[in-house]
Amino acid sequence: MQSIADAVGVARSTVSFVLNGKEKEGHINEEIAEKIRKTAKEMNYEFNQVARSLRTGRSYTIALVVANISDVFFGTLAYHIQECAEEKGYLLVILNTGEKKERLSPIFKMLKNRQVDGIIMVPVTNTESDFIENLNPDIPMVFVDRYFETFNTSRIHINNYEISKTATQLLIDKGCKRIVLVSYCETLMHIQERKRGYIDALSENNYYAEDLICEVNYLNPKDSIADFLNKKFRESPAIDGIFMATGGLSSITIRCLIDMNIKLQSDVQLIGFGNIDTITSVSIPCIKQPMLEMCQHSMDILLNQIESPDSKPIDCKLPAFVVKD
């Protein structure tokens, strides 16, 4: 830093402000800041991470805790958060829970021992807010996508209720009256709100029937979905619409329908959620989440908590939208 300062003709502290992305805090004009960045690049400047950690008391490491990195949604989440972390000068560590509650305790112990600065987490299915918060009393944390009714930790989520109600209404507008919900049996609020949106849309049109809700477990849901759909297509009147509450369930449900020789968007109208990885001969409308914005907000809120540990939790709700066929 001193060599750069000498080359540009400024104080070392000015260089430090700029290279740490804090030129506005240091009231450094953009022309000088750009000259410092250019000189640093020409001189092949790189942070000494060990020295930086000793000086600041931080590891400059963020942990992302997800259910399954092989899932399209979580993989996309990890990609964008890594990009955001690198832009801010942080290393990202990714850990999988496998939807197993018993993995959380060793994960949090490891993160504490490694002195990570913050955690972005997708909570494990059917856990409680208090359980996670008791495991992690010290490290700044933000929940993303999934969240709890109680509000003690900052969270980033979409308008699950509103967008699910809109999606169900789109099926009704297409003439559907017997609309199935395929969802998980889940206590976390993202699934509960999607279910509530579905129920309210049908109830307002006098179409709601409790026996049209197919709730499955996270492990091996395909057989349960196939059995449910086979039964409902044999009833009179048969089902004519399906709202699928997650990306994974959308793909599984569509594969079941194809195996049953059901004509998609003809015998039954569909609306899915997120990225559908099953190839079909017709376009399936689906709900898209603003993934990049979710990741950017997650990182910004987490870094604010790292800088200001006494800051209040933030509830950030972003709008999703339906991509129609």
> Looking at the predicted structure, is the pLDDT value of residue 173 above 60?
yes
Q: CA-to-CA distance for 28 and 31, rounded, in angstroms?
A: 8
Cα angle for residues 303, 158, 271 (degrees, 5° grid): 145
The pLDDT-based confidence of 50 (bands split at 50, 70, 90) is low
Q: CA-to-CA distance for 23 and 31, rounded, in angstroms?
A: 11
User: What are phi and psi for residue 217, nearest 5 degrees?
Assistant: -85, 160
Q: CA-to-CA distance for 146 and 80, rounded, in angstroms?
A: 17
**Which comes out higher in pLDDT, residue 258 or 114?**
258
Determine which of 24-33, 60-69, 239-248 has the lowest per-residue pLDDT on average.
24-33
* Tokens of residue 195, six digits: 């279910």
Mean pLDDT on 40-69: 78
- Residues of the chain above pLDDT 70, percent: 96
Task: Output the CA torsion sign for 16, 21, 23, 29.
Answer: positive
Residue 65 identity = V
Residue 232 identity = K
pLDDT for res 290: 96
Provide CATH 3.40.50.2300 ranges for the chain: 56-157+291-317, 160-288
pLDDT for res 27: 85
For residue range 60-72, list pLDDT tens digits in order.
899 999 999 988 8
pLDDT for res 130: 86
> Looking at the predicted structure, is the pLDDT value of residue 198 above 60?
yes
Assigned CATH for 56-157+291-317 = 3.40.50.2300
Q: Are 76 and 275 in contact (CB under 8 A)?
A: yes
Third-level CATH fold of 160-288: Rossmann fold (3.40.50)
> Residue 219: which residues within 8 A CB-CB, separation 6 or more?
99
Cβ neighbours, 10 Å, residue 114: 11
Q: Are 185 and 225 in contact (CB under 8 A)?
A: no
The pLDDT-based confidence of 194 (bands split at 50, 70, 90) is very high
